[in-house]
Amino acid sequence: MRLQPLRIGSEANLHGEGKLSLEGRALSSREERDQYTYNPTVGVTAGIYWGGGILPWGMPVDQRLDEAYSLSYTTPPLEEDLEVTGDPKIVLYISSTADTAYFHVKLTDVGPDGTSKWVTDGGLLASHRNSHAQPEALNPGQVYELKIDLKYVAYLFRAGHRIRVDIASADFQNAWPTAKAAVNTVYRGSKHPSRMILPIVPCKNLQLPSPNLRYSPRPRPTPEEIPNAEHHITYDLVTQMVTVSLAKNSITKSHDGRTESHRRSSSIYSVSQTNPADTVLKATHEYTMLRPEGEIKIEANEVVTSDVEMFDYQTQVQITVDSKPHFQKTWSTSVLRKFN
């Protein structure tokens, strides 16, 4: 893990040496660069935010497990509180040994004890730098400018804390990995000024009244109504596959007590650390409705796989009424990756 400073102000330039000046400082006239090997399993601590109805989001507070495989740029401890409210952006000058690469950026808050807390993040597939509809290959070794939007945020960095920017080429659990092994490079200096643009809000010291918080009018859920969720990440030391397994079960009843609904969702997502093209996602969703008139069950099964050239998708839906087949259909398709 490299702990290097960045410069913050209205723009925060990435530096490879020494100290940080909040007032800004001259960029090096030399071309400087940092390299890292693409690891498709970075993102274990990033949490889950792609939806799908499976909880919890599974986001650890500390991001240092991922930072061990990322480039990290860190300020010295802040002398005073610093508020960031708005949409941070980052401009990166990059190259890759592959014809496509993904760049994912995290903004974190580093506490006095070293804990690196996620604040916001964003990413961009470099082949989509000009268009999402018409991806363009990278020429290995050529330098490109990427402009990446991070998620909107309103956050107060406390005095004594440090601001950190992490750069990697995967967001495991949220972004499908690019297919080819790569060594990626981030450039710095006056010729290629990679920088974070932070929406900093001046301190106003407003004396606001205490909020009038009221209890929700909704009744608290019973223990039976709280979904039973599972979230496991495993690393196979023999095959070097990393797998995230998710599951959620819930039972609800209608207000009149006539209908009981059972829901179960599960998925298994596996990524190869040595061969990122070899990725598999399997998911199952079941919904059972119990009524005095009978039982209706809907089950959907999905499988998504990839190799260097293609994405393959298969899904099947089955409906039974009182355990008897009522409807069944299967879909399948294959799509060219096109530098995705």
**Domain regions of the chain by residue span:** 2-201, 223-336
Cis peptide before 140 (omega within 30 of 0): no
Provide the pLDDT confidence category of residue 1 given band limits of 50, 70 and 90: very low
The distance in angstroms from the start CA to the end CA of the chain is 28
Q: Dihedral of the CA atoms 248, 249, 250, 251 (nearest 10)?
A: 170
Looking at the chain, list the stretches that DSSP marks H as alpha helix, in order from N- to C-terminal side.
64-67
309 burial (CB, 10 Å; 0-12 / 13-18 / 19+) is exposed
Q: Is the pLDDT of residue 220 over 50?
A: yes
What is the band of 20 on the pLDDT scale with cuts at 50, 70, 90? Answer: very low
Q: Confirm if 34 and 89 have CB atoms less than 8 A apart.
A: no
Residue 174 has pLDDT above 90, yes or no: no
Looking at residue 227, what is its pLDDT?
75
Q: Residue 172's pLDDT is what? A: 87
What residue type is assigned to position 292 of the chain? P
Q: Is the pLDDT of residue 159 over 90?
A: yes
| Beta carbons within 10 angstroms of residue 261's beta carbon | 15
Phi and psi at 202, nearest 5°, equal -60, 145
Q: How far apart are alpha carbons 162 and 112 in whole angstroms?
A: 8
**Structure confidence by residue, pLDDT tens digits, 312-330:** 999 999 999 999 999 999 9
Rounded to two decimals, the pTM is 0.86
Give me the pLDDT at residue 8, please: 43
Please give the structure tokens belonging to residue 136. Answer: 């363009």
Separation CA 307–CA 207 (nearest Å): 58
Residue 103 has pLDDT above 50, yes or no: yes
Q: For the segment 21-57, what is each residue's pLDDT rounded down to a tens digit?
A: 344 555 656 778 899 999 999 998 877 776 554 444 6
Of all residues in the chain, what percent carry a pLDDT higher than 70? Answer: 89
Q: What is the pLDDT of residue 248?
A: 86
Residue 10 or residue 163, greater confidence: 163
Which positions ≥6 away from 215 have C-beta within 8 Å? none
Give the pLDDT mean for 231-251: 90
Which tops the pLDDT comparison, 231 or 320? 320
306 burial type by CB count under 10 A (0-12 exposed, 13-18 middle, 19+ buried): buried
The confidence score (pLDDT) of residue 226 equals 76
CA distance linking residue 336 with residue 22, whole number of Å: 47
CATH homologous superfamily of 2-201? Galactose-binding domain-like (2.60.120.260)
Cα 253 to Cα 248, 261, 299: the distances in Å are 17, 6, 20
Return the amino acid letter for 92. Answer: L
Enter the tokens of residue 137. Answer: 């290959």
Work out the average pLDDT over 103-112: 95
**Of the ranges 77-91, 119-133, 218-232, 290-304, which one carries the lowest mean pLDDT score?**
218-232
The residue among 308, 302, 237 whose CA lies nearest residue 279 is 308
DSSP, collapsed to helix, strand or coil, labels residue 40 as: coil
Give the residue carrying structure tokens 């969702």.
Answer: 265
Average pLDDT value for the chain:
86
Order across the sheet with 294-306: list the strands: 228-236, 241-253, 260-272, 279-291, 294-306, 310-321, 324-336
**Phi and psi, residue 126, nearest 5°:** -60, -30
How many Cβ atoms sit within 10 Å of the Cβ of residue 103?
Answer: 23
Please give the pLDDT value at position 311.
95
Q: What pairs with residue 201 in β-bridges?
A: 83
Q: Is a pLDDT exceeding 90 seen at residue 298?
A: yes
3-state DSSP helix/strand/coil % of the chain, to nearest 5:
5, 50, 50
- Whether the pLDDT of residue 265 is over 70: the answer is yes
